[in-house]
Amino acid sequence: MVLGYLNPDLNRCPWMRTALLQWGVSDIPGLRARISSYLASVGDPLTDSDTHQTTNWCSAFVNSCMEKSGIHGTGHDNARSWLGWGVPLALPEWGCVTVFWRKAPHTHWGHVGFFLGYSQHGDILLLGGNQTLNPQVCVGEYPRSRLLGFRWPAGTLTEATV
């Protein structure tokens, strides 16, 4: 995996500071306090039993990072809810919200996280929670063919690049 960072500027992307500090937080029974706080940002509880995996929490993670940075997220647990948030970007910016389809392009299933760059194979590197096959905050690699869109918070300086 090659981290092809475009412009890692934490001043332009304060939510990325929050996200990076969460690196390694896992959905492990008995150690779910942080996952629970992510889910609280979208009004979802953990499962009843601490022995079962929680719901998908990628969108809750992104909402929590935005909220902790003073930016309103979608407030929804559906990854595709981010497609109607902020402003669309024609080209990705480091730290932008990045939305993918999952299972099939025209279903409600999706995945969301923060754009880091491209791998040596041209896939998108994403910092997110509950990544594919890895229920933790980490970097995942996703094919461009599954990309639905790049989004940036409305009312910020980067809007000029849309």
Q: How far, in Å, CA of 142 to CA of 154, rounded?
A: 25
Answer yes or no: is pLDDT of 86 > 90: yes
Longest dimension (CA), the chain: 47
- The C-alpha atoms of residue 38 and residue 30 are separated, in whole angstroms, by 16
Residue 125 has pLDDT above 70, yes or no: yes
- Residue 38's nearest CA partner among 19, 51, 10 is 19
Q: Are 97 and 150 in contact (CB under 8 A)?
A: yes
pTM listed for this prediction: 0.82
Please determine, for residue 24, whether its predicted confidence score (pLDDT) is greater than 50. yes
Residues 84-96: what's their mean pLDDT? Answer: 95
Q: Residue 5 above 60 pLDDT?
A: no
The DSSP letter of residue 42 is: T
User: Could you read off the pLDDT of 48-81 as tens digits, one per residue?
Assistant: 444 444 567 899 999 999 999 999 999 998 999 9
